[in-house]
């Protein structure tokens, strides 16, 4: 789909660009598999002890139970984690690695520093504990998370009206790519992963002309270094200047 309906026609060596992203995707997979037993133990404990928000609610149809479970896991494991990473400076410097990709495509989806993989896992684990979801619902959530991560980062041009309709309920490709625009306040918006409701409820939803998008981060503009594995691993420990803030007139 990226080749047939690209949002941007990047003039770059796709496989060279993908190399560091594949490396970081591999570290993400290894870390998550290594820690997966904690999810299993937690999901089993909340089930046995009837603990968690979803277990304290009145009896409901199975489909509603699954939907609520996935939605709440999406809040704790994705939206809240993402929001905190942008607001707590040490965590933001770790999360920066995801934002310093100048050519956002499907390989960008899991471009996470190994430390961020641990942070994200911790929030997901917290979500399983607080929500009280069984492992089956956790699997459904994680499967949907993978699908939406790939879809929203894909370099595809979806019809604007269709993208807009999708964004009322779910995170659409255009909606998420605004989050990858290189300057504030757009970088600090549209944190959602699966459901767009969280951005709309908490006032972090923003719109922007997709034709004017510029990927990357203003505090780390070096495209060459941002494509090198060693530099990306060191990035959270490097100094940077304060992010650029766009004036109100430029937002409108």
Confidence of residue 196 (pLDDT cuts 50, 70, 90): very high
Task: List the chain domain ranges.
Answer: 14-251
Confidence of residue 6 (pLDDT cuts 50, 70, 90): low
Per residue in 34-43, pLDDT tens?
A: 999 999 999 9
Mean pLDDT of the chain: 91
Residues recorded for the chain: 252
Q: Is the per-residue pLDDT at 120 higher than 70?
A: yes
CA distance 52 to 240: 41
Q: Is the per-residue pLDDT at 59 higher than 70?
A: yes
CA distance 104 to 223: 13
Q: Is the per-residue pLDDT at 102 higher than 70?
A: yes
pLDDT at 247: 42
pLDDT at 158: 92
Please identify which residue in the block is written with the tokens 């459904």: 140
How is residue 92 written in tokens?
């933001």
Q: Is 61 exposed, middle or buried (0-12, 13-18, 19+ CB in 10 A)?
A: exposed
How far are the Cα atoms of 42, 140, 195 from residue 48, in angstroms, in the given order?
Answer: 10, 20, 29
Per residue in 143-152, pLDDT tens?
A: 999 999 999 9
Q: Is the per-residue pLDDT at 79 higher than 70?
A: yes
Candidates 197, 198, 73, 65; CA nearest to 141 is: 73
How far are the Cα atoms of 81, 120, 122, 239, 250 from residue 126, in angstroms, in the given order?
Answer: 10, 10, 6, 31, 39
Q: Is the per-residue pLDDT at 122 higher than 80?
A: yes
């Amino acid at each position: 789909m990226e080749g047939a309906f690209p949002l941007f026609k990047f003039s770059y060596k796709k496989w060279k660009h993908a190399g560091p992203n594949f490396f970081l995707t591999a570290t993400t997979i290894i870390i998550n598999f290594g820690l997966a037993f904690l999810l299993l133990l937690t999901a089993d404990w909340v089930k046995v002890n009837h603990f968690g928000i979803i277990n304290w609610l009145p009896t409901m149809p199975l489909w509603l139970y699954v939907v609520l479970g996935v939605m709440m896991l999406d809040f704790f494991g994705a939206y809240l984690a993402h929001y905190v990473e942008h607001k707590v400076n040490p965590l933001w410097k770790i999360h920066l690695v995801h934002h310093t990709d100048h050519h956002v495509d499907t390989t960008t989806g899991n471009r996470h520093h190994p430390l961020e993989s641990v942070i994200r896992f911790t929030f997901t684990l917290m979500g399983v504990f607080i929500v009280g979801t069984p492992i089956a619902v956790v699997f459904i959530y994680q499967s949907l998370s993978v699908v939406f991560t790939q879809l929203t980062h894909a370099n595809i041009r979806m019809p604007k009206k269709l993208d807009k309709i999708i964004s009322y309920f779910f995170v659409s490709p255009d909606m998420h790519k605004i989050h990858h625009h290189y300057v504030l306040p757009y970088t600090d918006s549209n944190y959602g992963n699966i459901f767009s409701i969280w951005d709309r409820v908490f006032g972090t939803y923003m719109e922007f002309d997709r034709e004017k998008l510029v990927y990357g981060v203003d505090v780390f503009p070096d495209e060459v270094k941002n494509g090198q594995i060693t530099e990306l691993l060191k990035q959270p420990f490097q100094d940077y200047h304060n992010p650029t803030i766009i004036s109100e007139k430029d937002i409108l």
